[in-house]
Structure 1
Amino acid sequence: MDHHCPWILNCVGQDNYKFFVLFIAYTTLFCLFILISLIPLYVRYSDMTWTHELQVAGMVLTGIFGFTLVAFTISHIRLILLNRTTIEDHMTPMDEGPFPCVRKGWSQSEGEVNQGNERLYDLGFKENWEQTMGKGWKCIIPVRFPRPEGPIYNQKVVARQWQDYNRQLEAQKLQEQQEVPQQSEESIAAVTSMPSPTEHDVNRRPSISSTQLQTSSQLA
Structure 2
Amino acid sequence: MTGPITDIVFDFCGVLVDWQCRAALEGRYPDDLVERICADDDPLGFFRYEDDMDGGALLADVLPVVAAEQGDGIADIFRDYIERYGDALPRLVPGMENLLADLDGAGYRLWGLTNWSCETFHFAFEKFPQLERYLGGTVVSGVEKKRKPNADIYRLAEERFSLDPAATVFLDDTAKNVDGAIAAGWHGLKFTDADQARRNLAELGVRI
TM-score w.r.t. structure 2 length? 0.27
Hey, which of these two has a bigger chunk of helix by percent?
A: 1
Larger radius of gyration: 1
Question: Highest relative contact order (Cα 8 Å, sep 6+), 1 or 2?
Answer: 2
